[in-house]
A and B are shown apart, each in its own frame.
Chain A
């Protein structure tokens, strides 16, 4: 069964702008794929529909077999706990340490502190930030901040990782490093969906590519 399945999905924002027009596609568990398209093509909107940050105006969005487009508000947090979100301009919390940023998803889900701390350190280790756990996020470089976002996204061991322009504003070496990380998660079974407009990056990876054009999938 597909982990993500869109059928005839449209999203119209208040004011009439139609970001997505009758989109249909599905993603198998364990797949890694790119979502691309020009700026304003609807990449971010599509990811938001999966995480129930936005609701579809028409059509059905199934995530892990659940119909997200009609999900009760009270059920949404439990959906998101199975998702890892690396969003563009994703806010790190600058009033606490790197470690505490990664702890947040575990505290939110009520994990015992000792177990949570162990998992947070494991996640930091995977993205190579274990040495910086006591640092404040503001002292990290752009690439390190992006890695911190990834650590926070994967600490709950999500089945599905969604990343919106994870390599934007990073130079090529950093971007490759980040992509290698996503590939590593994918190898252990995580489904990874990456939205990017970086054609160069996409060219380096031989995976499925969904190309949005003015809200449509050709």
Chain B
């Protein structure tokens, strides 16, 4: 057990010494990984912000419920109260056919057109505001209203909610794809770095194997190297993203002042950053594992 711990200590020390031995190429490797990973991490942060913003600045979706032309005022009143009692409804406003016509007349050039009409073709209507931007809820309420008596048509203005939702989903998918792609890049970078390291150390590997080093002893430093590269790359990526967010946040706050609202960017939480680092370490290890499996085989056969 003590020998095992000592082996790990030696491996880690060797790995660190090797990284420190060539600081420039280490830095470039770390930067390459960092820049590649900063993209998905940054995109993910922006997406989270966009989602938060969409909730913050959301105009509640609304439904317009059109009534049959022969609806009496008593029926209108009872319908109005029924709509109000539906869960998920924030407010209900009645727009009479005359009001609607007056509204329409205010539109440019509409007056003459309307003057040619012999009677008002517009129906009475309710404008219903929903409490949340939940497209599923909006749809459910829409169906419910359609089934009510004297309701001829329900116009959902929640389409934009669905559109935004679809856009965000598209964004999430794009970020996921980007992440997968750039994770692959990380694995490729470590794979190649480890391969070069194995080639420069081929003498040492050969000698070690001849003097009785176990396969684990020979492989261990490379695993450390891969994981360490991943970790440093992850740290670089987070620094890049945090720096970019800090710059953006300043401009964002100014934008918020202009709109009279306190807009702030959401920074990644420590938990999320730890997860990013964990993933980086795992990917670095994976790259090392593949490289070692591929290139150390040659020596192990000897």
Chain A contact residues, CB within 8 Å of chain B: 51, 53, 73-74, 77-81, 83, 85, 87, 90-91, 93, 95, 104-105, 107-112, 152, 156
Interface size for B (C-beta < 8 A) is 21
B302, A53: Cβ atoms under 8 Å? yes
Which residues of B sit under 8 angstroms from A109, Cβ to Cβ? 3, 212
B6, A108: Cβ atoms under 8 Å? no
A53, B207: Cβ atoms under 8 Å? no
Which residues of B sit under 8 angstroms from A104, Cβ to Cβ? 207-208, 211
* In the assembled complex, B210 has its CB within 8 A of some CB on chain A: yes
Roughly how many angstroms separate A107 CA and B6 CA in the complex, as a whole number?
A: 9
B215, A110: Cβ atoms under 8 Å? no
B212 CB to closest chain A CB (Å) equals 4
Task: Rank and list the top 6 A-B pairs by shortest CB-CB distance, nearest first.
Answer: A110-B3, A81-B212, A80-B212, A108-B213, A105-B211, A77-B212
Roughly how many angstroms separate A90 CA and B207 CA in the complex, as a whole number?
A: 8
B211, A80: Cβ atoms under 8 Å? yes
A51, B213: Cβ atoms under 8 Å? no
14 contacts between A and B (CB under 8 A): A73-B215, A73-B300, A77-B209, A93-B203, A93-B207, A104-B207, A104-B211, A105-B211, A108-B211, A108-B212, A108-B217, A110-B7, A152-B211, A156-B211
* In the assembled complex, B99 has its CB within 8 A of some CB on chain A: no
* In the assembled complex, B249 has its CB within 8 A of some CB on chain A: no
Which residues of A sit under 8 angstroms from B215, Cβ to Cβ? 73-74, 77
* In the assembled complex, B77 has its CB within 8 A of some CB on chain A: no
Which residues of B sit under 8 angstroms from A93, Cβ to Cβ? 203-204, 207
Which residues of A sit under 8 angstroms from B2, Cβ to Cβ? 110
Interface residues of B in 1-43 (CB under 8 A from A): 2-4, 6-7, 10
* In the assembled complex, B134 has its CB within 8 A of some CB on chain A: no
A156 CB to closest chain B CB (Å) equals 8
Roughly how many angstroms separate A104 CA and B210 CA in the complex, as a whole number?
A: 11
Chain B contact residues, CB within 8 Å of chain A: 2-4, 6-7, 10, 203-204, 206-215, 217, 300, 302
B13 CB to closest chain A CB (Å) equals 11
Roughly how many angstroms separate A155 CA and B4 CA in the complex, as a whole number?
A: 21
Roughly how many angstroms separate A95 CA and B4 CA in the complex, as a whole number?
A: 25
19 further A-B contacts with Cβ under 8 Å, apart from A81-B212, A90-B207, A112-B6, are A73-B300, A77-B214, A77-B215, A77-B217, A80-B210, A80-B211, A85-B210, A91-B203, A91-B206, A91-B207, A93-B203, A104-B208, A105-B212, A107-B10, A108-B212, A109-B3, A110-B4, A110-B7, A152-B211
Roughly how many angstroms separate A90 CA and B4 CA in the complex, as a whole number?
A: 28
Q: Which residue of B lies closest to A96 (CB)?
A: B204
A191 CB to closest chain B CB (Å) equals 17
Which residues of B sit under 8 angstroms from A91, Cβ to Cβ? 203, 206-207
Residue from A78, A104, A105, A108 with most neighbouring chain B CB atoms (10 Å): A108
B2 CB to closest chain A CB (Å) equals 8
From A74, A77, A85, A87, B213 is in contact (CB under 8 Å) with: A77
Roughly how many angstroms separate A46 CA and B63 CA in the complex, as a whole number?
A: 91
Which residues of B sit under 8 angstroms from A80, Cβ to Cβ? 210-212
